[in-house]
Amino acid sequence: MLRLGRREFAPHERVIMAIVNRTPDSFYDQGATFRDEPALTRVEQAVAEGAAIIDIGGVKAGPGEEVSAEEEARRTVGFVAEVRRRFPDVVISVDTWRHEVGEAVCAAGADVLNDAWGGVDPRLAEVAARYGAGLVCTHTGGSQPRTRPHRVAYDDVMADILDVTVGLAERAVSLGVARESVMIDPGHDFGKNTRHSLEATRRLGEMVDTGWPVLVSLSNKDFVGETLDRPVKERVVGTLATTAVSAWLGAQVYRVHEVAETRQVLDMVSAIAGEREPAVARRGLA
């Protein structure tokens, strides 16, 4: 059972984490949800379309203008508090690698710290433990925040992913984070080239077999774009294909931009797997 905030998710329940960027320079929407009202509208729409988790980020993942911890907190803390007020039952996640920001957003009502840079600040897990928050443990191949991979190599990329993410998860539990609130993430694109990310997807079952809930962040990423030779706005089909494969292999949480489309893909996979009844079943029965 995965427990995040007020919610519990059964082992075969496929969960959507909707991305809400509080940045003016997001690679995907170029700041469409930087201001409060568009961002709150995005939250409302995502929840209506089937997202159980809202992931709020104050710094874009890629290189760009430097954002201090103070500025990151300014972009996220008040917004977390307002989302908590308007949507008391939604799970609120914050994408940050800084313990100072983690402390502030947890105090404002965040339920999960999405450590997308793989424990680069070891104190972030301590914050999650102190506030009873969940934690995402991500593989980045040792990359520093907001850097791109350059000629990175692994003897066995999945072996490295397992070693790092399971190690981070076990450390978090040893610090006091609830075991049922820890997720592991292979970190597609982070510290990886396209072939590494494809292999991580192909072998995702090895992560699932560890027993830790697996989160995948696939949405419109560069490995999809390079595989199909498509720009950012034309990567939805490739993303959804990768989502279906990941779902079949057992990933549980999906960090996405396109919530409604992802919900349909996950529901279809669940039905094929025999874990969900069809919404309507009339064919051949009338």
Q: Which of 22, 75, 98, 221 is catalytic?
A: 221
Instruction: Quote the CA–CA distance of 181 and 112 in Å, as a whole number.
Output: 8
Q: At what angle do helices 99-108 and 69-86 cross, to 10 degrees?
A: 20
Confidence of residue 164 (pLDDT cuts 50, 70, 90): very high
Query: Is 233 annotated as catalytic?
Result: no
Q: Is the pLDDT of residue 230 over 90?
A: yes
Q: Is the pLDDT of residue 176 over 80?
A: yes
pTM, 2 dp: 0.96
Q: Is the pLDDT of residue 34 over 80?
A: no
Q: How many CB atoms lie within 10 A of CB 56?
A: 26
> Chain-centre distance of CA 181, in angstroms?
14
**Beta bridge mates, 272:** none
Q: Is the pLDDT of residue 286 over 80?
A: no
Q: Determine the Cα angle at 223 with ends 45 and 141, to 5°.
A: 105
Q: Which of 22, 255, 276, 282 is catalytic?
A: 255
Question: For residue range 117-129, what is the model confidence (pLDDT) as tens digits?
Answer: 999 999 999 999 9
Q: What are phi and psi of 28, to 5 degrees?
A: -90, -50
Instruction: Quote the CA–CA distance of 184 and 138 in Å, as a whole number.
Output: 6
Of all residues in the chain, the percent with pLDDT exceeding 70 is: 98
Question: For residue range 193-222, what is the model confidence (pLDDT) as tens digits?
Answer: 999 999 999 999 999 999 999 999 999 999
Confidence of residue 33 (pLDDT cuts 50, 70, 90): confident
Instruction: Quote the CA–CA distance of 230 and 223 in Å, as a whole number.
Output: 10
* 37 or 34, greater pLDDT: 37
Starting at the edge strand found earlier in the chain, the sheet holding 53-57 runs 182-185, 134-138, 112-115, 91-95, 53-57, 15-21, 253-256, 215-217
pLDDT for residue 32? 74
Mean pLDDT value of segment 75-87: 96
Q: Is the pLDDT of residue 28 over 70?
A: no
Residue 211 amino acid letter: G
Question: For residue range 94-149, what is the model confidence (pLDDT) as tens digits?
Answer: 999 999 999 999 999 999 999 999 999 999 999 999 999 999 999 999 999 999 99
Confidence of residue 45 (pLDDT cuts 50, 70, 90): very high
Instruction: Residue 251: name the closest of 194, 286, 189, 209 by CA.
Output: 209
Q: Is the pLDDT of residue 167 over 80?
A: yes
Residue 34 amino acid letter: F
Q: What is the mean pLDDT of the chain?
A: 96
Query: Is 255 annotated as catalytic?
Result: yes
